Amino acid sequence: MDLSRFPRKIYTHAPTPIEFMPHFTHALAATCPDGVGPKVWIKRDDMLGLFPGGNKTRKLEFLIADALAQGADTLITCGAPQSNHCRITLAAAVKEGMKCRFVIEERIAGTYKEDASGNNFMFHLMGVEEITVVPAGSNMGEAMNKVAQAVTQAGHKPYIIPGGGSNAIGGLGYVACVQEMQQQWMDMGVSFDAIVVGSGSSGTHGGMVAGFLGNHIQIPLIGIGVSRDPADQEPLVLKEAQAIMDLMGVPLQVPATAVTSFGGYWQPKYSLPNKGMIEAVQMLARTEAILLDPVYTGKIMAGLIGLARKGHFKPNAQVLFMHTGGLPSLHMYEDVVLGKTSVAH
């Protein structure tokens, strides 16, 4: 798949590492059937550029280049109160000398606090121009269009980036990631039996589906839902993957069988803690000194752990976990992840 015809800003100047996690693998095996589990590796996309890294950086390499090509000077995007995507979009705006505005959806009433730490602190530190807060269920596209109209009236040129950077242009970032990994696997001499990735706004999962199909990769790609169960999530991923293939001019209808996801690990609600997430965050921190976040990667790793304990992976299968970042929001949940506050199931 040739990405060279699409404009791109490079924010990460080397491939992110793929590392084996021996201590985590051993600890997980002790809780699996017959004391044997998968051998778990990790792709460190938490180390991407635009501090402090995360999967949105890959999407923004293409989105920002498109914005600049259109002459935009103000980025507008949306997310939840502790949005990693908003934070990294702002970082890109600062890098490019642009302004940036957010529409924040308060998905759980009372959770947005102007003086909160974590990503919200970084919004203000990096100089977000304006934050508009809307209630849960708001039409985010309409809300961003209103902000764009105000920017235009003020004599500037806006560029709207959808939540999570999840559209066909942003999805190219994870087609590029798949190609990067292919080269790494060849150089390392490692063959994987499964790849585990988070599935939320669908840009990362959908981009990887497109990349796997376009590069003829037969490895099972497993999505772990962070806000929806498969019946609602998989059509979104399928739509994203097809939009990317269409943008690239690949004459292929993405089959529904190309999208696999598991739910149940995100409840009781998006961004609300659960015991599986706490165990996953503590386990990886205490075995490998790698930090996960409570909203996304903690629940995704809880999914990998849960599948391993159910015998989903063959004994000693080589499984690669996609670490998509999110570190700043960890500081919003300190008492929770240390077990000082009780949570549901």
Query: What is the rounded CA–CA span in Å between residue 52 and residue 73?
Result: 23
Which residues are within 8 A (CB) of 186 and not within 5 positions of it... i.e. 6 or more apart? none
- Catalytic residue at 166? no
Nearest to 205 by CA among 222, 190, 192: 222
- Strand partners for 274: 344
Pairing of the two strands 18-20 and 260-262: unpaired
The DSSP letter of residue 130 is E
226 contacts 200 by C-beta, under 8 angstroms: yes
Which residues are within 8 A (CB) of 214 and not within 5 positions of it... i.e. 6 or more apart? 1, 175, 245, 248, 250, 252
Q: Give yes or no for a cis peptide into 7 (omega within 30° of 0).
A: no
Q: Look up residue 238 and give its amino acid.
A: L
Q: Distances from the Cα of 212 to the Cαs of 53, 181, 238, in angstroms?
A: 23, 11, 13
73 contacts 156 by C-beta, under 8 angstroms: yes
Q: Which of 83, 199, 201, 202 is catalytic?
A: 83
Query: What is the rounded CA–CA span in Å between residue 156 and residue 44?
Result: 37
Q: Distances from the Cα of 309 to the Cαs of 36, 301, 345, in angstroms?
A: 9, 12, 17
- Name the residues annotated as catalytic: 83
